[in-house]
Structure 1
Amino acid sequence: MKTITRARARTAFLGALIALTTVFARPGVAAVVLDLPSGSRRVAEVITALDSYNLPTGPWNGEEVPTKPVEGQVSRQAFRISGGGITTLQILSPLRQQILDQGYELLLECADNDCGGFDFRFGTEVLPGPGMYVDLTDFRALSAGAPDGSEHLNLLVSRSAANGFVQIVRVTAPGATPPTRIGTDADRPNATIAPVMLPVDPAEIAEPLESVGHVILPDLTFETGSASLGEGSFASLAALADYMQAHPDRRVALVGHTDAIGSLDANIALSRKRATSVKDRLVTAQGISAGRLDAEGMGYLSPIASNLTEEGREANRRVEAVLLPQ
């Protein structure tokens, strides 16, 4: 896989910070406010009373993203920061300092290519777009933990041309004081609850691909254990081909995903075969140059639904189109 080059730092520092009542609450310790940049708005939130989360603890090592399994109340939130010009470091730096000031220990800090680029992004849990957006060439990740193990934290920061994005995942151990939610829907009317990435109309994939950077090709179906793409025309492939023909400078990675039945190695191989079959169909039936398409497989590492139900497993058997840097 090609090494993704690290984006150059951008200029123009964004000044004022405002409190969004994000707290790191520990028994016997006063709630601590984590300030996000001015113009921040919560746009996605999923809070689970008892769940598990694989906390990233290291960059992609060539095989996987090292993680530490943690359990408790899991809060997943995404924020959009209005306005261009602010860099990912300018977003993350004051947040990192606030975390350190409260006595948390850093377990991971890396940036885009140093994290592992594409492999890190798709080897970690990310809230779906449009709530969270990740530029594969311009993102930063940080993981930290309370010294007593009562809470763990992961931050993922990225940006588009017009906005900055921050994802905050917090895991509070059973018996510890749960963290206070970041604001309310009443004071942030644009907030949405986004537990999974819902597929769009197969013929309308160009807009989310352009604005979010990736999109599910929702009319492709794969049975458990099969890499064969069905016969007939697929509206999503026709729409993707139209988009690529209209934008000859664009490159797209096709990323296969599976349900959780079987071993990880087998599922990664299967998901890569599925992505390759979609690539082959775009080349042979739609006339897209093979050099503009990559095919990758993530196995079951990035589910969008529970693997405990047939409906969830079916949703997880999918191929996504990911817009690559020009």
Structure 2
Amino acid sequence: MIRALISVFLALAGPLAAQELTLPQTAQQISDRSSTLDSYDLPTGPFADGAVPSRTVEGQVERYTWRLQAGSSTTLQLLAPLRDQIEAQGYEILFECEARVCGGFDFRFGTEVVPTPDMYVAIQDYRFLAAQKGQTVLSLLVSRDTPDGYVQMIRVTPFDAPAPAPIVVEQSVDGGQGLLAELQQNGHVILDDLHFRTGEVALGDGPFASLALLAGFLTDNPGLRLALVGNTDDTGDLVANIRVSTRRAEAVRSRLIEAYGVAADRIEAQGVGYLAPITTNATPEGRDLNRRVEAVLLVN
């Protein structure tokens, strides 16, 4: 995984209590709908008895959304790192649920969501979290509209709490050493920032950071080659899946050759269909993870 990160610093109780959250490099802030005086109904449980149970909090309400390239990441994979960081900062998780447990359609439309296109929520594929630290509360809502992921954060600081510092977005890049280190250590790496249009084999417009990193790596290591291997879930028959996975791998190979000037004899493309899953195909999340292109390191 590319370990370049966007750091979102939230000073939730003054400058000395700053919280740092990290989002993938591809994350882009879409909206900022902050109010110095407003109220927010913080969900405290799943939809039940015709309503979403909530607690009304008043004060400064900040509403932010981000869009990112989710690739094959599940909603849990998007939320879990944020949850871990919130807990590490002393937040108590008040309530957490995934779409079905939350109440699906009823929960989605019974709680506050920033309107589309700034926030997208798939009725059967989202996760919600509510947390509190001192007098400050916040909620996180994540969902996907493949290949994009969406994150919504709402933070409320009551009137009698110290005024929070403004959010500052900084980008910290490590040169892609995470992806390249994984490639060299394990001999292969999933290119999880790539995306293909649903049902198609054409690679999206990009740009894709992983491809730039691979091109530079091949330039610096003339004795090495790469095999690009396409993988699918188990929907459909094997022959069709091998054909689709091969064409997707070939699309990535063509992009490296045409856009990055990589010599054609240093990259090959193959497809294995559903023969090499990394997780179960019994769930939508598992099928998403299994649909991928990997780079495999070859030594001349």
- TM-score, length of structure 2 as denominator length: 0.54
Report whether the alignment pairs 1:152 with 2:148: no
Partner in structure 1 of residue 158 of structure 2? 173
Partners of 1:132 and 1:61 lie apart in 2 by 24
Percent identity of paired positions between Structure 1 and Structure 2: 44
* Contact 2:99–2:125, Cα closer than 8 Å, also in 1: yes
Structure 2, unmatched stretches of 5+, are: 171-300
Q: CA deviation at 1:154?
A: 0.4
Write the mapping of 1:270-289 to structure 2, written as runs, cut at 5 A: none
* Contact 1:17–1:35, Cα closer than 8 Å, also in 2: no
Of 28, 32, 54, which residue of structure 2 is paired with 1:41? 28
Q: CA deviation at 1:24?
A: 4.0
Of 120, 130, 138, which residue of structure 1 is paired with 2:117? 130
* Contact 1:19–1:33, Cα closer than 8 Å, also in 2: no
CA deviations over 1:143-191 (Å, ceiling 9, x no partner): 0001x21x1000000001110000000001224222422539xxxxxxx
Q: Whose relative contact order is higher, 1 or 2, with alpha carbons under 8 Å and at least 6 apart?
A: 2
Corresponding letter in the other structure for 1:159 = R
Report whether the alignment pairs 1:102 with 2:89: yes
Partners of 1:158 and 1:15 lie apart in 2 by 21
* Contact 2:61–2:155, Cα closer than 8 Å, also in 1: yes
- Secondary structure of 1:123's aligned partner: coil
Partner in structure 1 of residue 49 of structure 2? 62
CA deviations over 1:33-86 (Å, ceiling 9, x no partner): 111122100011100001110001111013111111111110001100124211
Q: CA deviation at 1:28?
A: 6.9
Query: What is the RMSD of the two structures over their aligned residues, measured on CA atoms?
Result: 1.9
Corresponding letter in the other structure for 1:180 = P
Q: CA deviation at 1:19?
A: 3.4
Partners of 1:30 and 1:127 lie apart in 2 by 27
Report whether the alignment pairs 1:75 with 2:57: no
Name the CA shift for 1:24/1:152 in 2 (closer, same or farther; >3 Å): farther
Write the mapping of 1:241-320 to structure 2, written as runs, cut at 5 A: none
Corresponding letter in the other structure for 2:106 = D
The structure with the largest alpha-carbon Rg is: 2
Corresponding letter in the other structure for 2:139 = N
Corresponding letter in the other structure for 1:162 = P
Tell me which protein shows more strand as a share of its residues.
2
Partners of 2:165 and 2:99 lie apart in 1 by 29
Partner in structure 2 of residue 92 of structure 1? 79
Corresponding letter in the other structure for 1:120 = F
- Secondary structure of 1:52's aligned partner: strand
CA deviations over 1:209-229 (Å, ceiling 9, x no partner): xxxxxxxxxxxxxxxxxxxxx
Partners of 1:97 and 1:46 lie apart in 2 by 25
Partners of 2:156 and 2:97 lie apart in 1 by 20
Partner in structure 2 of residue 163 of structure 1? 148
Name the CA shift for 1:23/1:64 in 2 (closer, same or farther; >3 Å): same
Q: CA deviation at 1:103?
A: 0.6
- Secondary structure of 1:142's aligned partner: strand
CA deviations over 1:193-213 (Å, ceiling 9, x no partner): xxxxxxxxxxxxxxxxxxxxx
Corresponding letter in the other structure for 2:5 = I
Partners of 1:117 and 1:133 lie apart in 2 by 14
